[in-house]
Amino acid sequence: MPDRLSPRRVTAPEPGPGHQVAFGRPDSVAGSFAEDRPRPPARPTPPPPPEAVLRAFAPGAPGQRGLQEPPAGRPGRRRTATGPWWKADARSDPWRDPYAPAGLGAPAVYPEPEEQDGPIVVDGKGRKRVRLRDLSVRLSALVLLAVLVVGAIGGGVGWFLTRATPESPLLSPGTTLTQVDPGTTREPGSVSAIAEEVMPAVVSIEVRVGEAGATGSGVVIDGEDGYIVTNNHVVSGAADVDGAEIRAVFSDGSGSEARIVGRDPASDLAVIKVEKPGLVTATLGRSDSVVVGDPVVAIGSPLGLAGTVTSGIVSALERPVRLAGEGSDTNAVISAVQTDAPINPGNSGGALVDGTGALVGINTAIASLGGNGTTGGSIGLGFAIPIDTVRDVAEQLISTGSAVHSSLGVNARSVTDGTRDGALVLNVEPGSAAANAGIQERDVIIAIAGDPVGSSEELVVAVDRYAPGEEVTVEVVRGGGSQELRATLDAA
User: Do 223 and 281 belong to one domain?
Assistant: yes
User: Do 320 and 298 belong to one domain?
Assistant: yes
* Lowest-confidence region among 70-84, 221-235, 437-451: 70-84
In a domain, 65, yes or no: no
CATH of the domain at 326: 2.40.10.120
- Residues annotated catalytic, as ranges: 233, 268, 348
pLDDT score of 371 more than 60: no
User: Do 473 and 336 belong to one domain?
Assistant: no
Q: Please enumerate in sequence order all residues whose Cβ is within 8 A of that of 480, keeping only pairs 6 or more positions apart, or say none.
A: none
CA distances from 150 to 139, 140, 146, 161, 240 (A): 17, 16, 6, 17, 85
Average pLDDT over every residue of 300-324: 92
DSSP 161: H
Last residue of one domain, picked from the residues 359, 385, 403 = 403
Report the distance separating Cα 203 and Cα 221, nearest Å.
Answer: 11
Higher pLDDT, 322 or 126: 322
| Domain count for the chain | 2
Which of 353, 361, 358, 364 lies closest to 312, judged by CA? 353
Do the bridges between strand 481-488 and strand 471-478 make them parallel or antiparallel, or are there none, so unpaired?
A: antiparallel
User: Do 395 and 415 belong to one domain?
Assistant: no
In a domain, 99, yes or no: no
pLDDT confidence tier of residue 131, bands split at 50, 70 and 90? low
At 424 the pLDDT is 95
In a domain, 299, yes or no: yes
For the chain, the average pLDDT equals: 82
User: Do 229 and 330 belong to one domain?
Assistant: yes
At 409 the pLDDT is 94
Range of the domain at 234: 189-403
pLDDT score of 286 more than 90: yes
At 175 the pLDDT is 85
User: Do 399 and 256 belong to one domain?
Assistant: yes
Per-residue pLDDT tens over the stretch 344-368: 989 999 999 999 999 999 999 988 7
In a domain, 351, yes or no: yes
Q: Which range scores top for mean pLDDT: 16-30, 193-207, 323-337? A: 193-207
Average pLDDT over every residue of 298-323: 93
User: Do 356 and 463 belong to one domain?
Assistant: no
Average pLDDT over every residue of 44-54: 77
pLDDT confidence tier of residue 487, bands split at 50, 70 and 90? very high
Per-residue pLDDT tens over the stretch 404-415: 999 999 999 999
The CA dihedral of 105, 106, 107, 109, to the nearest 10 degrees, is: -130
Contact 322, 332 (CB under 8 A): yes
pLDDT score of 452 more than 60: yes
User: Do 310 and 227 belong to one domain?
Assistant: yes
DSSP 149: H
Per-residue pLDDT tens over the stretch 3-46: 555 566 667 777 777 777 777 777 666 665 555 666 667 777 77
In a domain, 131, yes or no: no
At 15 the pLDDT is 76
User: Do 341 and 474 belong to one domain?
Assistant: no
- The fraction of the chain above a pLDDT of 90, given in percent, is 50
Contact 390, 270 (CB under 8 A): no
At 266 the pLDDT is 92
Per-residue pLDDT tens over the stretch 72-125: 555 555 555 455 555 666 666 666 666 666 666 666 665 555 555 555 666 655
Last residue of one domain, picked from the residues 372, 403, 434 = 403
- In which element (H, E) is residue 261 found? strand 255-264
Average pLDDT over every residue of 293-321: 94
- Answering whether pTM is above 0.75, one says no
In a domain, 4, yes or no: no
In a domain, 78, yes or no: no
CATH of the domain at 415: 2.30.42.10
At 114 the pLDDT is 54
User: Do 307 and 453 belong to one domain?
Assistant: no
Per-residue pLDDT tens over the stretch 5-16: 556 666 777 777
At 214 the pLDDT is 86
Contact 339, 360 (CB under 8 A): no
Report the distance separating Cα 353 and Cα 290, nearest Å.
Answer: 10
User: Which residues share a beta bridge with 334?
Assistant: 321
Higher pLDDT, 95 or 217: 217
Per-residue pLDDT tens over the stretch 400-444: 999 999 999 999 999 998 888 999 999 999 999 999 999 999 999
pLDDT confidence tier of residue 64, bands split at 50, 70 and 90? low
User: Do 414 and 391 belong to one domain?
Assistant: no
Last residue of one domain, picked from the residues 403, 427, 456 = 403
At 479 the pLDDT is 87
Average pLDDT over every residue of 139-154: 86
Contact 484, 471 (CB under 8 A): no
In a domain, 381, yes or no: yes
User: Do 267 and 251 belong to one domain?
Assistant: yes
pLDDT confidence tier of residue 240, bands split at 50, 70 and 90? confident
* Lowest-confidence region among 105-109, 344-348, 377-381, 476-480: 105-109
Average pLDDT over every residue of 172-176: 85
At 429 the pLDDT is 94
Higher pLDDT, 56 or 396: 396
pLDDT score of 168 more than 80: no
DSSP 6: S
